[in-house]
Amino acid sequence: MAFLTKLRKQCAVSLISTLAFFILVASVAQAGEITLLAPEQQCTLYARLPSTHFIVRVGDKNDLAQLQLDSGSEKIIPLATRLKNDTYYVHYRVPLAPGENKFTLSPGGRKITINYKPLRTLLNANFNVPGVYLYHRTETMHQECRQCHEVEKVPEDFYIKPVPYGTNSPVCYTCHKAIFEETKWQHSPAANLMCETCHQQVKDVGRISVTIGKDATLCYHCHLVKGKAWGDMAHIHQPVGFGVCSICHNPHGDTYRFQLWADGRAELCVSCHVDKEILLKKETEGIKVHGIIRGGGCVACHDPHASENPYMLYKPVNELCTGCHNDLIGVTKGHPVGGHPLKGPKNPLKPDKEFNCASCHNPHGSQYQYLLIGDVLGGHVCAKCHN
C-alpha cells in the first residue's frame, strides 16, 4: 500500500513537470511569433530628428490583438499595420530623448533599450563601433520590407526633376517621404531623390554609405565656388573652417530656408553663442536691445560663412553702422562732441584695434541709453579712456 502511494506521488510530480514543460514551450513559441525587425533590441542610434521607427513582425492574429509597445507609462499607438503572406508587420514611430530610452514590447514583456545621440555634426559620430544601429548597414532594404514597400517607382503626383548627372533612387522615397511631407525647404539632390549622389552604394555589398567626419568634402563637390571663396577670406566662421556644414544645414530638408534647423536670423546663432540668447527674449528688463537684432537678426550684420572683416562683418564697423545711421556717413570727427574722433586713432581700451563706433556703443545691447558701454551721466563713458 505504501508502495502504491509513493508511486502515485511520483506520477503526479512527473505529470506536473511534463505539463509545466509544455506550458513553457508553448509560451516560448508564442513569444517567438513576435519579432522586432528594426532597430536592434539594445543599440545606440544617431539621428537628426528625435524619433525612430520600430518594425515588429507578428505571425499570429491573436498576438496582434494583444500587441503593445510602452515607453514607461505611455502607450505608443501603431503608425500602420500591414498583412503580407499571412504575416502582420506593425510600424511604430517612436519619440526619443537624448540618452537612454527604455521600451517594453508585449506580450512577452521584451525590454528594448535605445541610446539616442542627437546628430548635428559627423565629426563626433562613429557608426562603426559595436552597438551602433544602421538600418542600411548590410543592404539597401531588407527583403521582408520589399513585400510592401514600393522600390521601383514613386507616386504619380510626386514630380522628380530630370537631372543632367547622377541617378534618381525611387527605392528611398517609400521610407523617407517625411522629408518631403514634413519639411518646407529641401536640398535639391534630396528633393529629386538623387540619394546615391551623396550616399554612394558600395557596389559589391549593395548598401548605403554615410560620410563620417568633415562633410564639407562632400558638400564642396557641388558648392565648390563658395567653398574656395570662403577658404581664401581672412575671417572664417568656425563651422565653415572645421568643414561641418551640417551643423547648421540639414543636407536633406528642414523647417527653415537654406535647410536650417532653426531660424537662421538669430535662433540658430544662439545655439552656440549662448551669451546672446537673452537678447532674443520678449522680456529683457534692464537691457536695451539693438533694434536690428529683432528685425534682420544676426545675419543683418554678420556673414554666417566668412568675411574679410573681423567678426565676419559684411563691412568695416563704421561703414556697417552708417548703413542705417546714415546721418554720420563720412564723418570722422565731431561725435558726440566737437573734435571727438569716430575713426583713425587706436582704441585706448583695445590698443590693437582702431577706434570705431563699437568703441563706445555695444552693437548688440546694453543696460545703458544709446547702447553705450557705460552711463553717460557722470562721465562714466568718457572716463573709460580719459582717466
- For the chain, what percent of residues have pLDDT higher than 70? 90
Domain locations in the chain as residue ranges: 31-119, 270-384
In sequence order, the 6+-apart residues with CB closer than 8 A to the CB of 87 are 57, 58, 59
Q: Which pLDDT tens digit goes with each residue over 114-131?
A: 999 998 888 878 888 999
Alpha-carbon distance of 116 to 43, in angstroms, equals 9
Q: How confident is the model at residue 97 (pLDDT cuts 50, 70, 90)?
A: very high
pLDDT for residue 204: 64
Chain position carrying cell 538600418? 135
Q: Which comes out higher in pLDDT, residue 256 or 207?
A: 256
Region 23-39 average pLDDT: 61
Q: Kindly write down the DSSP assignment for every residue of 185-208, as one continuous string.
A: EE-HHHHTT-HHHHSPEETTTTEE
pLDDT for residue 49: 87
Q: Which pLDDT tens digit goes with each residue over 203-225?
A: 666 678 777 788 888 888 888 77
> Three-class SS of residue 309?
coil
pLDDT for residue 201: 65
Say if residue 70 is exposed, middle or buried (CB neighbours under 10 Å; 0-12, 13-18, 19+): middle
Q: What topology is assigned to 31-119 in CATH?
A: Immunoglobulin-like (2.60.40)
pLDDT for residue 96: 96
Model-level pTM?
0.79
Cis peptide before 50 (omega within 30 of 0): no
